[in-house]
Amino acid sequence: MAKKGYRVIAEFSIHPIGEGTSVSKYVTKALKELKKARSLRLQVTPMATVIESEKLSNILSAVERAHESLFRMGARRVDFVLRVDDRRDKERRMEDKVKAVT
Amino acid sequence: MAKKGYRVIAEFSIHPIGEGTSVSKYVTKALKELKKARSLRLQVTPMATVIESEKLSNILSAVERAHESLFRMGARRVDFVLRVDDRRDKERRMEDKVKAVT
Amino acid sequence: MAKKGYRVIAEFSIHPIGEGTSVSKYVTKALKELKKARSLRLQVTPMATVIESEKLSNILSAVERAHESLFRMGARRVDFVLRVDDRRDKERRMEDKVKAVT
Amino acid sequence: MAKKGYRVIAEFSIHPIGEGTSVSKYVTKALKELKKARSLRLQVTPMATVIESEKLSNILSAVERAHESLFRMGARRVDFVLRVDDRRDKERRMEDKVKAVT
């Protein structure tokens, strides 16, 4: 586990395949599930949700619940992409990554 | 090509491998290259840059130039991820995707 | 452009959203388009197609044609992920990457 | 949880940032960790490792252990991409996905 102070920053994008061209109902549900995990900081972007947490395991648990929730809504096939950036030589939060390049 | 009015929305994340743990200098350069393409709308997020354009080819050209610029800075190995969402049954811009789920 | 001998290795995954849970017809078509680009070496895996080329631009052109072909088949929304690994300090082919880790 | 018979198919790609241009030592270690999870079926490709399992949670646990193992080797920053395809209207294994498109 990373030392106290370090944050894992990740990005999560999910959608069902075969439930119509509009998937916002499903993405809204997934986002609602992520929000239940109080320890996560979230930022919704046009292509994904950025997630910040002290522990990768918290992110993975939330992602798993979000994924499962789409099947409960009736989806038959669900795809997601999770990208994780875990840096432990320097404390930083999601805002710092944007500031560093703009 | 997509009909007039439709926009391709994409997400681009790039970094060199083996040039130190901090890659912000390289990401800043890539972003500068993307900005040269006047036809693109950009939004920087903590994990990527969201790109909106009328044509996929404009996005691909900009991505190629951004990629090449990292080698000109001295990078020996460069990785990127490009995710593209192209919807042609409904006009929408990058902001609409966020509004639809929040 | 990379020096002669160096190869870009990439991975491409594409599917329509909203055309049913089975997308193999569309993936087959995309693959057929990629195969038309004689300069590319391809390897189909369960989650993507690995592409090797002397030039990134050849990969991007083929990806663009594959993407467009799905709309010609009637798809209304198409998503793809392209991951690129471009290493210029060492010549290698796609097989070398597998050998190095197994 | 998916019904008995259904398999989740995923793809995992991991590397450290800032530990040199060659990362095969780290990928080999990550792969070794994945192999410890006996319930997973694995296929190494030039750009990733394909993972098949009865449960997403088994994949996520293995990915977490693989990720952590790179820090134990001394990596200071680790990035990974996990793409998951979970289809529950049809039984299939990783080989079926390749057969369907070639």
Q: What pLDDT is recorded for position A5?
A: 78
Q: What is the pLDDT of residues A25-70, one digit of tens each?
A: 999 999 999 999 999 999 999 999 999 999 999 999 999 999 999 9
Least Cα separation, residue D50 to chain C (angstroms): 7
DSSP 8-state assignment for residue D2: P
End-to-end CA distance of chain D: 31
Torsion of CA B19, B76, B13, D19, to 10 degrees: -40
* Residue found by looking up tokens 């007039």 in the block: B4
Q: Which chains touch B (3 or more CB pairs under 8 A)?
A: A, C, D
Interface contact flag, B24 A100, Cβ < 8 Å: yes
Interface contact flag, C101 D13, Cβ < 8 Å: no
Point out the residue among D21, D76, D81 whose CB comes nearest to the CB of B17: D21
Q: What is the pLDDT of residues D7-38, one digit of tens each?
A: 999 999 999 999 999 999 999 999 999 999 99
Chain C residues closer than 8 Å to D85 by CB: 47
- What pTM does this model have? 0.97
Interface contact flag, D48 C48, Cβ < 8 Å: yes
Q: What pLDDT is recorded for position D90?
A: 93
Interface contact flag, C82 B81, Cβ < 8 Å: yes
How far apart are alpha carbons A60 and D57 in whole angstroms? 9
How far apart are alpha carbons C100 and C90 in whole angstroms? 13
Q: What pLDDT is recorded for position A24?
A: 97
Is residue C26 within 8 A of residue C14, CB to CB? The reply is yes
ipTM of the complex: 0.96
Is residue D23 within 8 A of residue D52, CB to CB? The reply is no
In this prediction, residues B83-101 reach a mean pLDDT of 96
